[in-house]
Amino acid sequence: MLRALILVFWGLLLAACAQTPPLLLPEALGQNVQVNQLVSVPAPQGQRQFNVVWSRESNVFSLAGLSLAGQLLFNISQQDGEIRIRHALPDIPANQLHQLIRQIQWAYWPLADINAAMPAGWSLTEDKDRALRQVYRNGTPYMVFQFDSLAPFSSVKITQAQGPELQVTTISVQALDVQAPGRNLP
Q: Over the stretch 66-106, which tens digit does the pLDDT of each residue have?
A: 999 999 999 999 998 899 999 988 888 888 888 889 999 99
Measured CA to CA, the distance from residue 37 to residue 168 in angstroms comes to 6
Greater confidence (10 vs 146) lies with 146
Measured CA to CA, the distance from residue 109 to residue 153 in angstroms comes to 10
- Where are the extended beta strands (E) located within 58-165? 60-67, 72-79, 82-88, 122-127, 132-137, 140-147, 156-160
Q: Residue 98 belongs to what H/E stretch?
A: helix 94-108
Measured CA to CA, the distance from residue 53 to residue 84 in angstroms comes to 16
The residues pairing with 66 across neighbouring beta strands, listed in sequence order, are: 51, 72
Tally the residues of the chain.
186
Residue 181 has pLDDT above 50, yes or no: no
Nearest to 97 by CA among 67, 114, 80, 73: 73
Beta strands across the sheet bearing 132-137: 82-88, 72-79, 60-67, 48-57, 33-41, 166-175, 156-160, 140-147, 132-137, 122-127
From the CA atom positions of the chain, what is the Rg in Å? 16
User: Mean per-residue pLDDT for 6-20?
Assistant: 49
> 116-126 pLDDT, tens per residue?
999 999 999 99
Model pTM? 0.83
Residue 6 has pLDDT above 80, yes or no: no
